[in-house]
């Protein structure tokens, strides 16, 4: 399949994230197919979220997610597009729990990097996050001082580890905060919280991050446009 052949070239790094691909005609000539056939293949790649096609400019490999979209579920008084500050509470290597290993498609008790992170607006905590990363792919993070970490993690993963997050699937539920979680968010223990579980994947479709974010349930909001 032509689209799969192009995707294989993307995964192999022939065209880095953010770069322009050769013209449609050049690619059609390379694969010895009609121009219309190549356009349909590129359209499939766009539907898979791998490329962006810009009229009059060409086809570009997607840069990946920025990582701020979790905040679409909460109202914290921020202005549109505002990025919260982040504070890394802890960072250590540990053995994956059954839940984490399953989510990241790792062997039982595989080494993972576990992060605890607060996200803040106006100095006040709004989200408490626990994040697990496969240690063999993110070991370079451990060499960085906490003060060097960025507010947005996905661009930081790409910069430090060469891992580009291209897709994320979120699942939402509700629970009560434990005493430790409540302390981080400056809320009473047992306070209702919204829980967003995320599995993020790279260009190849491999899970690279499992994240559990908790925030005040009273700040939770959901909006959908149905057409």
State whether 98 and 191 are in the same domain: yes
pLDDT above 70 (res 70): no
Domain count, the chain: 2
| 224 within a domain of the structure (yes/no) | no
Which percentage of the chain shows pLDDT scores above 70?
Answer: 94
Which two structure tokens, joined as six digits, stand for 57? 């400019």
How does pLDDT run across 183-210, given as a tens digit for each residue?
A: 999 999 999 999 999 999 998 889 999 9
pLDDT of residue 147: 86
Where among 39, 61, 83 does a domain terminate? Answer: 61
pLDDT of residue 46: 86
| 207 within a domain of the structure (yes/no) | yes
Burial environment of residue 42 by CB neighbours within 10 A (0 to 12, 13 to 18, 19 or more): buried
Domain encompassing residue 91? 69-219
pLDDT band at 79 (very low <50, low <70, confident <90, very high): low
State whether 150 and 106 are in the same domain: yes
pLDDT of residue 67: 59
Instruction: State pTM to two decimals.
Output: 0.80
How does pLDDT run across 84-97, given as a tens digit for each residue?
A: 789 999 999 999 99
Q: What is the CATH number of the domain that holds 39?
A: 1.10.10.10
State whether 56 and 73 are in the same domain: no
């Amino acid at each position: 399949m032509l689209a799969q052949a192009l995707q294989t070239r993307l995964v192999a790094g022939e065209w880095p994230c953010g770069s322009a691909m050769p013209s449609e005609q050049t690619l059609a000539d390379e694969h010895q197919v009609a121009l219309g056939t190549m356009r349909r293949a590129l359209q499939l790649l766009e539907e898979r979220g791998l490329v962006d096609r810009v009229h009059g400019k060409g086809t570009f490999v997607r840069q990946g997610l920025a990582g701020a979209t979790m905040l679409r579920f909460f109202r914290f008084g921020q202005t549109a597009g505002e990025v919260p500050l982040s504070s890394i509470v802890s960072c250590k290597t540990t053995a994956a729990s059954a839940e984490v290993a399953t989510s990241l498609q790792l062997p039982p008790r595989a080494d993972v990097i576990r992060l605890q992170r607060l996200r803040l607006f106006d100095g006040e905590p709004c989200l408490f996050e626990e994040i697990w990363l496969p240690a063999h792919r993110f070991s370079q993070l451990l060499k960085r001082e906490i003060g060097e970490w960025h507010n947005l993690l996905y661009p930081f993963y790409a910069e430090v580890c060469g891992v580009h997050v291209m897709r994320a699937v979120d699942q939402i539920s509700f629970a009560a905060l434990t005493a430790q979680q409540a302390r981080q968010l400056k809320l009473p223990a047992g306070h209702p919280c919204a829980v967003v579980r995320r599995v993020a994947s790279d260009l190849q479709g491999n899970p690279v991050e499992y994240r559990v974010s908790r925030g005040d349930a009273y700040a939770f909001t959901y909006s959908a446009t149905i057409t």
